[in-house]
Amino acid sequence: MIQSYSYRKPLSGWQLRAGPSGIYMFKRSIGLNILLDEVQVPAVLWASVPRQISIALTNACDLSCSYCYAPKIPAILDAEKVASWLTELDSEGCVGVNFGGGEPTLHRHFADLCHFTVHHTNMAVTFTTNSFQLDDKLLAALVGNVQFVRISMDGIGATYEELRGRPFMELYHRLENVHILAPFGINFVVNARTLPDLDAATSLAANLGASEFLLLPEQPVNGRSGFDHRTAHSFRSWVARYQGEVPLVVSEAGSDGLGVCDPFAGETGLRTYAHIDANGIIKRSSFATAGVAIGTGGVIRALEKLKNQQEERHL
């Protein structure tokens, strides 16, 4: 059992966050987001933590995709430590946490951490999964404790099976059932192999009731070159002519050359996002090679050290 950490909440049920874009108010219970962008907040009052945090609970995964950025060295986070970090982040205005990995559902306290976050913080809970561990028992344990699910689906049919090594129809049946848990979106790594499947993949996502389609242009990791120029050009052309039903979302790392709408344009870098890996190191992104270990001083102190390191590099 994960113990409860308590602190004073300024407004019951609401998460309040001040920043360069104004005052952001979020109420998880009804999914309401309000941005008071006409309010100019002094910099000294801006939230000291990212708007969103991702936490790799474990490096373990039941798949072995060649383009995966997650480290292959065994590592797993202690649930009590994660709970204390979440409490810190919540008290300073973090709005949401995404549990990832590896495969987060392989962490034996995964459901407990989702429950803890919903019942002891004002943050929203999402997680990114390949879906193959989402059996009836786990789904039942997660109901009411998750606000959004991200399902990884790189290509469809034979493309998916070649890249992920699992039957596509098994994934399809998981997608048919995930809506009983929470709204869901599709995460889609775009590279030369998966690009031709985008039309069929977005159509399938619409038919299954997905709320969004997250485009993740492949990053150069593990000796792979990532997005080549020809693929990047074709990708931007596809986005420009897209008229599908499911809203498109793109990762910050892959947004160059695309017209994007960002209500928090004034918030960049660590004000927007940070990643904690399965070794307890906080980084500016999941692709970053360097970061700061979270010690006994907690996640806020480690985040400040990371900010200072970045500022020193830019001097």
Give the per-residue pLDDT at 10.
Answer: 53
- Compute how many other C-beta atoms are within 10 angstroms of the C-beta atom of residue 188: 24
Q: What is the rounded CA–CA span in Å between residue 206 and residue 204?
A: 5
Alpha helices of 209-268 — where are they, by DSSP H?
Answer: 229-241
Q: Please say if the pLDDT value at position 7 is more than 50.
A: no
What is the residue extent of each domain of the chain?
14-47, 49-258
pLDDT digits (tens, 9 = 90+) for 185-206: 999 999 999 999 999 999 999 9
**Contact status, residue 123 vs residue 148, Cβ threshold 8 Å:** no
User: Most confidently modeled of 12-16, 173-177, 264-268?
Assistant: 173-177
- pLDDT confidence bin for 170, thresholds 50/70/90: very high
In this structure, of 61-75, 152-166, 169-183, 285-299, the range with the lowest mean pLDDT score is 61-75
Give the per-residue pLDDT at 248.
Answer: 94
pLDDT digits (tens, 9 = 90+) for 25-64: 999 999 999 999 999 999 999 999 999 999 999 999 998 8
Alpha helices of the chain — where are they, by DSSP H?
Answer: 79-91, 110-120, 136-142, 157-164, 168-177, 198-208, 229-241, 299-314
- CA-closest candidate to residue 166, choices 62, 67, 71, 69: 62
Q: Please say if the pLDDT value at position 6 is more than 60.
A: no
Give the per-residue pLDDT at 136.
Answer: 92
**What is the 8-class DSSP label of residue 314?**
H
- pLDDT confidence bin for 228, thresholds 50/70/90: confident
Considering the domain delimited by 49-258, tell me its CATH architecture: Alpha-Beta Barrel (3.20)
Average pLDDT, the chain: 90
Assign 137 to helix, strand or coil: helix
Amino acid of residue 159: T
